[in-house]
Structure 1
Amino acid sequence: MKDNEKNQVENPETAGNEVQPQETQTVPKAPEKKKRSLIKCLIWLLILAGIAFGVTKIVKHCQEKRAYECYDEYDEDEPDDDIIAYKNNIMNIVNPLTQEVIVKDIDWYRGYESRKDTIVLFAKNGKRGYCNVVTNKVIVEPTTYTKAWIFSEGLAAVEKDGYIGFVNADGKVAINFRFPYRGNSLYEFVFHDGHCVVADSTNKIGVIDTKGRWVIQPLYDEIELAKEYAIAYKDGDFKKQIDYQGNILQEGIIDNINNLYYDVTYTDLTTGEPEVGSMKNNNFYEYRVGGNSGLISSSGKFITRPIYKDITGLSPTLFVATLQDWYSTVIIDEHGNVVSAFEKR
């Protein structure tokens, strides 16, 4: 008995091991509880702050997405962000210097064609308006027009009852509503060097000046503006270079020229078997203009007008030409004469 007691006293490691389990089961002191509670509170605050930040970003993204999806499709530049201020996730137009609010709660905005124009186009409740970010004035209230374009060279196009007119920097109609709105096929309505492309009542397009006068008559289907002239195109015809006095400077303008190939049969020298290959036609080419095709010789002579949708080679002097319906085809010879016609099966 004494020996056992002596062993217990003389073996301190054993005694220590017996005490340790009791120490790990002790209740934490009050300061440790407070510390853990504080850490939990900080974690929850960080989580809530992250959620709030995320919601703000989502709201702003949705607002920008709504603005992007709502605005009309035409040529425009977005002005500097210093004319826009957000408050409670509401977009406002402000003076870039004083930050004074000019228009509250807009859907979207579009800005200057050049820095000479200080008038901003905006949309609000489905209508279009204009404001001057220098004078702080709304020059056209967003109550009348459902489509409008940016200012350029002191004028801006607006649509009313299916027709396009132009307003000036005072918001007054400067060019009357007499040009039909044709949708995305003629979407720009912006003046460049004093000229703008518009349509007439026959749905053909021409060019007007800043007074609304025709400088190129509305006879064409497509027009591209340059500084000193325009390139005008009528479907099934060549493009023309026309100056702004209405003079034709050059006719017979095309877009590009493509090689033509036709199939030939030859004997493979290795196998002795007949093979089919392609031979390039060095005497005739397909030319393209405005989405149509025609036949031209290697000497530059136009064999046909650009009245086909596509031309492919059949032989050195025969060609397959696809008509405007993209279905029917004809065979033409080297003089442009129709040899035979048939429909694709």
Structure 2
Amino acid sequence: MKNIAKTIWSTFLRGFRWLFVSQSESKFGIFVRRAFITCIAIMLFALLALSIVCSYEDLRNKYATNKTENEVEDGSDNIYISRHIYFYIPKDSMGYIYNYYTNEKLIEDVGFIAKPVDGDKLICFSTGTKRGYFNAYTGKIMIRPCYDKAWVFSDGLAAVQKGKDLFFINHKGKRAFKKSFEFSDNADGYCFHNGYCIIALGDCHFGVINKKGEWAIPPIYVDLKRRLDDYWIVKNKDGYGLMKGFRKMILPCKYIYMDVDDFGILVQNKDCTMQRLNFDLTIKDKFVCEEIEPLLYRTPKLNKKGGHLMAVASCNSYSVGGCNNGYGYGLIDYKGRPLTKPIFSQIVAINKNVFLCKQEDNGILLNNHGEKINK
């Protein structure tokens, strides 16, 4: 085996030396060398041409894929749908769906389109009076425009409305379940996420259904919001509360504000104070505020123009939102210790250590320890 490898390698070296090192001027040698070099040149040219074509196609596809809207010289728009399919919108008339490469009109008299967030292949479109769905990759109508209202597909289902009857359909245009609903202006799109959809009933009731149309959360709340990791913020007449999944309340409805993010659970108590909880409901941050600002007071000293000089008071003010339908302000010392709850609508420094704390049109005087001066 070693002898065969050596023979092949030595033959390759002799051929290489003969082509590029040997100075043989025989007609045969010159012909072979020229033919070899010509073949190499043709191959290199072909590879270069192929590389240029591929680069051009990649750039064109990338440009088309990333482009969502093209401004056309006459003021119309081209909206990207998929690699071949675009929505052309004239400036003063109805648009149409067309194939970018063949320039073939696929659907005419289109008023608008709505693309699903989760990449579903069916695109909602309007004819001006009715709504239906077409395939994003072929431009072919899949569900004819027969609905008064229609929403994008999510989790394989879409909400549609005929008359006062609002229901959900699948990709074939068939009803996903028998239950119907009535449209509410408070609805947030009628979209499913991870198998669940928030449903608004009338002006003040919210619940959650699953993909069978069953109530996962009954429609008894005046507000309802989906948050990360299957947390649901609900609100009744007593305040905001928190559910984990659909099994039980983990925080009762007693807060005036609540939110859930990657850092924990933010709650605002009835006295306007804010705290952040860990996901095991232990306290993470006992004190939370939005902003801290210095308080300035007017001194008896005058500047060169005759105006009173300002000085910094011995306390700052801090603020939180959501208190009395606006911002609430409180006193905080320079060590970061809150001296009052954020229950005031305005705080004004009278001098270095005295503060006028207003609630609406009335106010009280507090010292730099948060204590009332006139009891």
**2:126–2:145: 8 Å Cα contact kept in structure 1?**
no
Q: Distance in 2 between matches of 1:229 and 1:284?
A: 29
**1:95–1:101: 8 Å Cα contact kept in structure 2?**
no
Q: Which residue of 1 aligns with 2:214?
A: 172
Counterpart selection for 1:83 from 105, 123, 148: 123
**2:127–2:145: 8 Å Cα contact kept in structure 1?**
no
SS in 1 for 2:311: strand
CA separation of 1:102/1:247 partners in 2, compared to 1, >3 Å: closer, same or farther? farther
- What is the CA-CA distance between 1:228 and the residue it aligns to? 5.9
2:353 pairs with 1:328: no
* Larger Rg, first or second structure (1 or 2): 1
**2:147–2:160: 8 Å Cα contact kept in structure 1?**
no
Which ranges in structure 2 are unaligned for 5 or more consecutive residues? 1-89, 96-108, 322-326
**1:193–1:227: 8 Å Cα contact kept in structure 2?**
no
Q: Which residue of 2 aligns with 1:280?
A: 312
Q: Which residue of 1 aligns with 2:80?
A: none
SS in 2 for 1:138: coil
2:200 pairs with 1:159: yes
CA separation of 1:129/1:248 partners in 2, compared to 1, >3 Å: closer, same or farther? farther
Counterpart selection for 2:352 from 316, 319, 339: 316
| Correspondences of 1:289-300 after superposition (within 5 Å) | 289-290=320-321, 291-300=327-336
CA separation of 1:210/1:248 partners in 2, compared to 1, >3 Å: closer, same or farther? same
- What is the CA-CA distance between 1:316 and the residue it aligns to? 0.1
User: What one-letter code is carried by the residue in structure 1 that aligns with 2:235?
Assistant: A
Q: Distance in 2 between matches of 1:140 and 1:227?
A: 35
Counterpart selection for 1:208 from 219, 240, 243: 243
**2:273–2:342: 8 Å Cα contact kept in structure 1?**
yes
CA separation of 1:132/1:92 partners in 2, compared to 1, >3 Å: closer, same or farther? same
SS in 2 for 1:336: coil
Q: Distance in 2 between matches of 1:53 and 1:312?
A: 55
- What is the CA-CA distance between 1:230 and the residue it aligns to? 1.2
- What is the CA-CA distance between 1:87 and the residue it aligns to? 4.8
**2:227–2:261: 8 Å Cα contact kept in structure 1?**
no
Counterpart selection for 1:144 from 164, 178, 181: 181
Given the two structures, how large is their TM-score scaled by the length of structure 1?
A: 0.64
- What is the CA-CA distance between 1:122 and the residue it aligns to? 3.8
Q: Distance in 2 between matches of 1:260 and 1:212?
A: 48
Q: Which residue of 1 aligns with 2:264?
A: 229
Q: Which residue of 2 aligns with 1:5?
A: none
Q: Distance in 1 between matches of 2:298 and 2:117?
A: 51
Q: Which residue of 1 aligns with 2:159?
A: 121
Q: Distance in 2 between matches of 1:206 and 1:265?
A: 51
User: What one-letter code is carried by the residue in structure 1 that aligns with 2:132?
Assistant: N
CA separation of 1:190/1:99 partners in 2, compared to 1, >3 Å: closer, same or farther? farther
CA separation of 1:129/1:243 partners in 2, compared to 1, >3 Å: closer, same or farther? farther
- What is the CA-CA distance between 1:260 and the residue it aligns to? 0.4
User: What one-letter code is carried by the residue in structure 2 that aligns with 1:92?
Assistant: G
Q: Which residue of 2 aligns with 1:104?
A: 146
CA-to-partner distance for each residue in 1:161-189, whole Å, 9 max, x for gaps? 643221111222233233x22xxxx4x63
Given the two structures, how large is their TM-score scaled by the length of structure 2?
A: 0.59
CA-to-partner distance for each residue in 1:183-209, whole Å, 9 max, x for gaps? xxx4x6334221111113x33111112
CA-to-partner distance for each residue in 1:234-288, whole Å, 9 max, x for gaps? 24332111234433322111111011000012244x67xx53122122x310011
Q: Which residue of 2 aligns with 1:46?
A: none
RMSD between superposed Cα atoms in Å: 3.5
Which ranges in structure 1 are unaligned for 5 or more consecutive residues? 1-51, 69-75
User: What one-letter code is carried by the residue in structure 1 that aligns with 2:151?
Assistant: Y
- What is the CA-CA distance between 1:308 and the residue it aligns to? 0.8
2:375 pairs with 1:338: no
- What is the CA-CA distance between 1:78 and the residue it aligns to? 9.0
**1:166–1:176: 8 Å Cα contact kept in structure 2?**
yes
Q: Distance in 2 between matches of 1:299 and 1:53?
A: 61
Q: Distance in 2 between matches of 1:227 and 1:313?
A: 37
User: What one-letter code is carried by the residue in structure 2 that aligns with 1:313?
Assistant: A
User: What one-letter code is carried by the residue in structure 2 that aligns with 1:305?
Assistant: K
User: What one-letter code is carried by the residue in structure 2 that aligns with 1:170?
Assistant: K
Q: Which residue of 1 aligns with 2:275?
A: 240
Q: Which residue of 2 aligns with 1:190?
A: 226
CA separation of 1:132/1:102 partners in 2, compared to 1, >3 Å: closer, same or farther? farther
Q: Which has the higher contact order (CA 8 A, sep 6+)?
A: 1
Q: Distance in 2 between matches of 1:338 and 1:237?
A: 20
Q: Distance in 2 between matches of 1:292 and 1:305?
A: 9
CA-to-partner distance for each residue in 1:293-329, whole Å, 9 max, x for gaps? 1101111222111111121211001111111xx2112
Q: Distance in 2 between matches of 1:224 and 1:111?
A: 27
- What is the CA-CA distance between 1:127 and the residue it aligns to? 4.9
Residues paired across the two proteins, number: 261
CA separation of 1:253/1:169 partners in 2, compared to 1, >3 Å: closer, same or farther? same
Q: Percent identity?
A: 14
**1:166–1:173: 8 Å Cα contact kept in structure 2?**
yes
SS in 2 for 1:193: helix
CA separation of 1:87/1:103 partners in 2, compared to 1, >3 Å: closer, same or farther? closer
